[in-house]
């Protein structure tokens, strides 16, 4: 099933800087990080967090942004970096701020005692940290696009997520997908 509008370009030119969508107060830059992560056990679960000093950051969705995102937005988002050749496709059901907070924590390798950082994200976070140094806590290399589920009512949000993931995987073969392929492509 083709869930994409016929006039949609098959390029990444229609992404916008994430800084046009969110207000962001970055965490403290922690110099000399060795790229290691601590394994934190909590009950039956384990979490991987950067082996760094505790730090926090804040984000808020900008009112009237070009993607028409707000706290209640439902749909599929793509975070992309042309500088580091990666993308991530995610789904939000009225929790876009929390979802973006989670991804920014991973990409900036912030130890805020929240979330876990999967191995692919760990590797990319360290590459990004080494390349950008003090700028690694900023988001200047990140772009975002959003598909509002209300505009794609011919399929479920899970089908939409899968179709968009497959689209960008095919469109960007030289890019690393930060998605767990087992969770998609079903």
Kindly report, residue by residue over 84-135, the tens digit of the pLDDT. 999 999 999 989 999 999 999 999 999 998 889 999 999 999 999 999 999 9
Q: How far is CA 125 from CA 64, 82, 130, 147, in A?
A: 30, 15, 9, 26
| Distance from C-alpha of 73 to C-alpha of 142, rounded to nearest angstrom | 20
DSSP β-bridge partners for residue 47: 40
More confident residue, 45 or 126: 126
b (16+ CB within 10 A) / e for 69-80: beeebebbbbbb
Q: What is the reported pLDDT for 7?
A: 32
| Distance from C-alpha of 52 to C-alpha of 84, rounded to nearest angstrom | 22
| Distance from C-alpha of 137 to C-alpha of 108, rounded to nearest angstrom | 5
Query: Quick one: DSSP state of residue 183?
Result: G
Burial of 103 (0-12, 13-18, 19+ CB in 10 A): buried
């Amino acid at each position: 099933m083709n869930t994409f509008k016929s006039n949609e370009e098959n390029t990444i030119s229609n992404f916008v800087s994430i800084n046009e969508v969110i207000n962001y107060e970055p965490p403290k830059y922690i110099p000399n990080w060795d790229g290691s992560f601590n394994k934190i056990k909590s009950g039956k679960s384990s979490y991987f967090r950067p082996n760094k000093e505790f730090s926090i950051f804040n984000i808020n969705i900008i009112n009237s942004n070009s993607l028409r995102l707000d706290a209640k937005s439902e749909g599929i988002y793509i975070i992309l970096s042309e500088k580091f050749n990666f993308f991530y496709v995610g789904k939000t059901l009225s929790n876009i701020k929390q979802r973006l907070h989670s991804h920014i924590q991973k990409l900036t390798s912030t130890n805020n005692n929240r979330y876990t950082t999967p191995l692919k994200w760990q590797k990319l976070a360290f590459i990004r940290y080494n390349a950008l140094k003090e700028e690694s806590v900023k988001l200047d290399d990140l772009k975002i696009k959003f598909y509002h589920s209300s505009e794609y009512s011919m399929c479920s949000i899970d089908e939409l997520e899968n179709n968009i993931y497959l689209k960008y995987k095919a469109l960007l073969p030289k890019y690393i997908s930060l998605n767990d392929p087992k969770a998609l492509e079903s």
